Amino acid sequence: MIPPADAFLPELQFQTSRSSGPGGQNVNKVESRVELRFRVADSQVLTDEQKQTLVQKLASRLTTDGELLIAAQEDRSQLRNKETAIRKFHETLQKALYKPKARKATKPSQGAVRQRLESKKKHGDKKANRGRVDF
């Protein structure tokens, strides 16, 4: 199970820069873009198994130093962009650490088997009746 998002807050580093999004003249003065950095290997919240899974599944999104980078610049507000980055980060972790339930093999029901055989029999009869007709 993945810990809640606020458990990761002490391990997250934030960097701000000027956004390319909406903001008018404000966009040139205020650093509203937020970049979240998370060092997977140094995390004390995640287990070793979870760290390995993240490194494997998020290999294309990790830097050479093993940092996961997530940027948010959708909003004019730095605070909302920071919240968005944290939400994106938690969703990314949830997706990467999700384990699908193992499928239990089951036999088809007797009704399904009977229906399948009847269908095959009808199909075979239809094909058999396509031959030359002998008068």
Q: Where in the chain are the domains? A: 5-97
CA atoms within 13 A on the CB side of 82: 13
* pLDDT band for position 23 (cuts 50, 70, 90): low
Collapsing DSSP states into helix, strand and coil, what is residue 106?
coil
Domain 5-97 bears CATH identifier 3.30.160.20: yes
pLDDT at 21: 60
∠ CA 13-57-45 to the nearest 5 degrees? 45
Compute the average pLDDT of residues 39-50.
91
pLDDT at 108: 94
Cα dihedral 117, 118, 123, 124 sign: positive
